[in-house]
Structure 1
């Protein structure tokens, strides 16, 4: 059953169908720039998709099939990011949005086309998997605006881009091509603009067919390794051990023996 919910006056849209969640950034007249209200809405949308709609994977994209996101809406900076005090409040909402993507219990796939700048680039960096069109362009223009990028989000750039490419992106503010980011491992695939939607949906559906408990344990283990977090690694080990007593493990074994596709329930 398809479910939908709008956040931030419709500028963040969440939809679920067949265990696949879709979250759209909807501000196409401004190249899907993200307003303060939209930043605040992103954690709400992730929560709704995972907890209420019970999706097993989230697909993140910009509306309009042209641009992923130009990043934070600079037109708001005069009031909402005018000094250190206001910037701290503003960036706290940024950080919560990045964390919602990064820490979502289910895998998040970013489908990237056109412009992917600043905060939009940050959201993509926080995702688990990234597929982009051949003409996608990436940049972190913070240094050209005279401000610093949120430190917690820089970690996502370093993990996704690698140390050298992250430095290049942050120090120069220059644009990077999809080809360059595929070469450094930030992108798992590059595709044509016409094929992006179908290709990312195919990947999302393949993930959604797998056991939710297994996906959650794997995502947590990967994050633990990336962060060198021993406590998180132990938590991932506990989750992994729990899968052996799950109904899904019994279903997986039965389906394998019967040569059929398993039907997982997340229990």
Structure 2
């Protein structure tokens, strides 16, 4: 492998280009690759390089280490950076740059998932075109255990992929799904043993990189257009409800309980 490094403004995101494939690594293994604000910016910067480099024909995103793709947002930042609806909006603007950069890629994006893929980590994986996972991978959205709101675009992306019924199950229960269940409901595309997942993913994306790039880009654009046919008339109302969650006492209780490693006591206020 002859990786050409892509310089970023943070060491917590690593990017490089090899054999026509852009590789992006979420690099905070000590915190299970929880994504911080600086990492969202690094992700956006890397995607801009990949998008504008004509030699890059496909992109892979992964988590550093063997234990986690990304275990959500870095909750340790929430008390200072995301403690209410106003802060959530500022935080969201930075995070949105990363999400938009991933979504704007006109090149196939594959998420290579080992271990935990939770909350914001799952939201990142949902922006990928394909998701390959190891048998020990775990998927979930713990918003209901923290008292925060899950924004409409993420809910819509999940529901389009697994259907409204399975999306409701995941959001209402906040439970974690194993790889077999994730494959069964269509959340992931295939399960690959840990010893083979990098080679399998590499073989796949290098094969894609050899295909006609205009054809592949056109297919991706057409499928994006298909996915956009979702009624968004009520999206502003959902955003209001999400803000209510972030301004609630329950959200404050959820943060405290997480930091204190105890069960939260929610009151619906």
What is the TM-score normalised by the length of structure 1?
Answer: 0.82
- Please give the per-residue CA displacement for 1:194-251, whole angstroms capped at 9, x wherever unaligned: 111111111111110011111111100011111128xxxxxxxxxxxxxxxxxxxxxx
Aligned to 1:100: 101
Aligned to 2:17: 16
Alignment of 1:157-176 (within 5 A): 157-176=158-177
Aligned CA distance change for structure 1 residues 136 and 30 (closer, same or farther; 3 Å): same
Give, in whole Å, the separation in 1 of the partners of 2:163 and 2:98.
22
How far apart are 1:93 and its partner, in Å? 2.3
**Match status 1:77 vs 2:78:** yes
Task: Count residues in correspondence.
Answer: 229
Aligned to 2:117: 116
Give, in whole Å, the separation in 2 of the partners of 1:185 and 1:8.
35
Aligned to 2:256: none
SS at match of 2:111: strand
Q: Indicate conservation of the 8 Å contact 1:3/1:53, yes or no.
A: no
- Name whichever of 97-106 and 210-219 sits farther off: 97-106
How far apart are 1:166 and its partner, in Å? 1.1
How far apart are 1:54 and its partner, in Å? 3.4
- Please give the per-residue CA displacement for 1:180-199, whole angstroms capped at 9, x wherever unaligned: 11011121101111111111
| CA-based RMSD | 1.4
How far apart are 1:150 and its partner, in Å? 2.0
Give, in whole Å, the separation in 1 of the partners of 2:116 and 2:163.
21
Q: Indicate conservation of the 8 Å contact 2:6/2:17, yes or no.
A: no
- Name whichever of 194-203 and 86-95 sits farther off: 86-95
Aligned to 1:197: 198
Aligned CA distance change for structure 1 residues 59 and 32 (closer, same or farther; 3 Å): same
Aligned to 2:228: 227
Aligned CA distance change for structure 1 residues 95 and 220 (closer, same or farther; 3 Å): same
* Shift >4 Å, 4+ stretches: none
SS at match of 1:16: strand
- Name whichever of 51-60 and 82-91 sits farther off: 51-60
SS at match of 1:102: helix
SS at match of 2:69: coil
Give, in whole Å, the separation in 2 of the partners of 1:141 and 1:8.
29
Give, in whole Å, the separation in 1 of the partners of 2:187 and 2:99.
16
Give, in whole Å, the separation in 2 of the partners of 1:218 and 1:195.
28
Q: Indicate conservation of the 8 Å contact 1:91/1:150, yes or no.
A: no
Q: Indicate conservation of the 8 Å contact 1:141/1:173, yes or no.
A: yes
Q: Indicate conservation of the 8 Å contact 2:10/2:42, yes or no.
A: no
How far apart are 1:39 and its partner, in Å? 1.1
What is the TM-score normalised by the length of structure 2?
Answer: 0.82
